[in-house]
Chains A and B, each alone.
Chain A
Amino acid sequence: MTLWQSSLQAFALSMGGMTALAFAMDRHYAQLTSLDEVPTAHRMALRVLGALLLLTVCLPAMRGWSASVGSVLVLGFWGLGALATVAGLSWSARYLAVAAAVTALLGGVSCLW
């Protein structure tokens, strides 16, 4: 596994996690749906999913580098994932939702490989 592959996995998971957390907020949920408020069940599900994906970023970071370097990189990837989410939300919430779901899925599956 090269450092680039680990980076891609970490970034994909981070972007997926941050996007899930964003859509758990009323303002961004409204960008995606016609609802002004996120239904409680959706909110919980999105938050849990987001938190899990963000935690999973640790896997490629620790595997690709080491525990010490990986823990620093996790913070960096969370930041990059969040920047990508903000850019995506201001571009198109719908495209972002699809893109984040696909990349997070690919990232997650490739981690299990």
Chain B
Amino acid sequence: MQPAKKESGAGKGSFRQAQAWLHTWCGLWFSWLLYAVFLTGTLAVFEEPITHWMTPEHHAHEQAEALQAGSERETASSMSQRLQWGMAYMQRQHPGADMWELWPADAKGGGDLRVYWFDGDGQYAAAQLDPASGNTVDASEVPRVRQTLGGHHFVDFHYQLHAGQLGLWIVGIAALAMLVALVSGVITHRRIFKDFFTFRARKGQRSWLDMHNAVAVLTLPFQFMIAYTGIAISCSTFMPAGIAAYFGTGAEAVKSFQVALNEPGKPQRSGQAMSVPDLESFVLRGQALIGQPVRAVVIDYPGDAAARIGIYGWNDADDLSKRLSPSSGMAMFSAATGELQQLRLPGGVDGGAASLTQSVIGGLHMATYGGLPLKWMYFICGLAGSAMMATGAILFMVKRRGKHQGEFGSSTSTVYRMIEAANVAAIVGLGIACVGFLWANRLLPVEISQRSRWELVVFFALWILALIHALLRSPPLAWRDQMAALAVLCLLLPLLNLVTTGDQLAAYLLDGDWEGAGVELFAVAVGVAAAGAWAWMRKTSGLKPARKQMARELSKGLPVAADASAAKQGSLS
């Protein structure tokens, strides 16, 4: 096969051709990682429902609580009683701690009573108290809950890849590459307005290009926003020079920056002893000032005369849906004089326009505003973004299946083969890993130690297996096998749940448990789509009797059903 003459390259051809070159290569090399970041980020929109589904023991507990809610409400302890119990516990157990934090009740004055403090190592520690008696809840009384990362796995993976700072940098660079690919893609797309509404189905390469253009162009504002805000959230990591110049580098410097940013005007210990005053009057004043029920009472330097008491509020869901900045109200008092030292209204920030911008950027990225409809909008746009990466990566190979372009010299065929395998493992393999993560949640024994780590092991192991499978099997068969596996795992998920926990989809629906039902319904929908894709690939490959015809078909053929002979040609040449 003669390599086609290259028409563009870095700095070759017209401006538009150079942009096309940039879009192709920048897009290709980052597409797999970006697809993974996008798909898991999209699932992260529904972090709470996924966590809910993954903690069925809690779920039974929540239901029992909801049933008892009416009767309990009357006998529930008052706010003042809860505060006293919290204080009594802290004075008894952690008199020397630098900070006490009481979460007395939920927004309605009921629910759990929790306390937090900084232990001797400066680590955040927590305990739960019985809201009916004030006694510590004994760990053995708490229902045995399976240890899991829940939906947080998807949050963590999509911005850190479970690799801490290193992962954050990798994802940040990929997001930057995405912005480059978006801009160069818009420049490359000659007919952006003429083809605005165009999708021509069943036309091979043309269909893939139409699909790639449609999902990208029509959700372009979202794609720009999500990539840009994703980078900007972590700007202090990516652009550390400003902070380094003022505060220096190293752990201490970071700490003093955090204090200056989050706790301006924090006093020093005075060394004079003073017991913490009664909290209720502070709570009542704080609630009146911020107009929100109390969520947390934070006491800095308890037992010292310089102590201060911060009252933080619960955001009201309806109010939160109407503002871009998600911060809650806060009132800070001096414990000694009762003087108001600092006041932040809901949605406001300390630190002026830059801090407010940062807060809004965070809110925009994490969909804290707008309520449930907005979460669905982010979910759909996120899926469109994932489809943009997937169709782009597939299109790269569809274009080259019929026409060898010789970009990699004598190893072009090998590299094409690798790219095909990466496409299969990144696109379908990741789906298998995600649903496999849910399977692991139900199948791993509840008592196993480091259980949540094992769930992650299953996630990554399945993904690696998918890559190995894709490298060993010819591309069309790899697509089909993995699509079938995805379909089976998704479609059987409700059955697995029924067998392992006794919970079932119909019961979720009858109980109005939309979180539990939503997870399973979405899994079933993905399963049906995957089964449809599998059947389509099978049919398309069956339609190609002769080899010669195959070659012709290839150029219009479908991604997935790229035929076996192409793969053979690839591996032989």
- Chain A residues within 8 Å of B, Cβ to Cβ: 3-4, 6-7, 18, 21-22, 25, 27-28, 65-66, 68-69, 72-73, 75-77, 79-80, 82-83, 85-87, 89-90
Instruction: Quote the shortest CB–CB distance from A20 to chain B (angstroms).
Output: 11
In the complex, which residues of chain A have a beta carbon less than 8 angstroms from the beta carbon of B199? 86-87, 89-90
Q: Can you name 22 A-B pairs with beta carbons within 8 Å?
A: A4-B372, A28-B197, A65-B321, A66-B322, A69-B321, A69-B369, A69-B370, A72-B364, A73-B370, A75-B221, A75-B222, A76-B381, A79-B218, A79-B219, A79-B220, A79-B381, A82-B218, A83-B214, A83-B384, A85-B197, A86-B214, A89-B197
Return the CB mask of B307-325 against A: 1 if under 8 Å, else 0: 0000000000000011110
Instruction: Quote the shortest CB–CB distance from B200 to chain A (angstroms).
Output: 7
Instruction: Quote the shortest CB–CB distance from B245 to chain A (angstroms).
Output: 33
In the complex, which residues of chain B have a beta carbon less than 8 angstroms from the beta carbon of A82? 196-197, 218
Q: Is B380 an interface residue (CB 8 A)?
A: yes
Do A76 and B377 contact each other (CB < 8 Å), given the known contacts A3-B372, A85-B197? yes
Contact B197 A72 (CB under 8 A): no
- In the complex, the chain A residue whose C-beta lies closest to that of B218 is A82
Interface size class of B (residues with CB under 8 A): 20 to 34
The 8 Å CB contact of A3, one of B220, B221, B373, is B373
Q: Is B374 an interface residue (CB 8 A)?
A: yes
In the complex, which residues of chain A have a beta carbon less than 8 angstroms from the beta carbon of B323? 66, 68-69
- In the complex, the chain B residue whose C-beta lies closest to that of A19 is B197
Contact B324 A69 (CB under 8 A): yes
Q: Is B164 an interface residue (CB 8 A)?
A: no
- In the complex, the chain A residue whose C-beta lies closest to that of B364 is A72
Contact B197 A22 (CB under 8 A): yes
Given contacts A22-B197, A68-B324, A90-B199, 17 further A-B contacts (CB under 8 A): A3-B321, A4-B373, A6-B373, A18-B197, A22-B196, A25-B196, A65-B369, A66-B322, A69-B370, A76-B374, A79-B218, A82-B196, A82-B197, A83-B215, A83-B380, A86-B197, A86-B218
Contact B200 A90 (CB under 8 A): yes
Q: Is B198 an interface residue (CB 8 A)?
A: yes
Q: Is B371 an interface residue (CB 8 A)?
A: yes
Q: Is B201 an interface residue (CB 8 A)?
A: yes
- In the complex, the chain A residue whose C-beta lies closest to that of B376 is A7
Contact B222 A25 (CB under 8 A): no
- In the complex, the chain B residue whose C-beta lies closest to that of A89 is B197
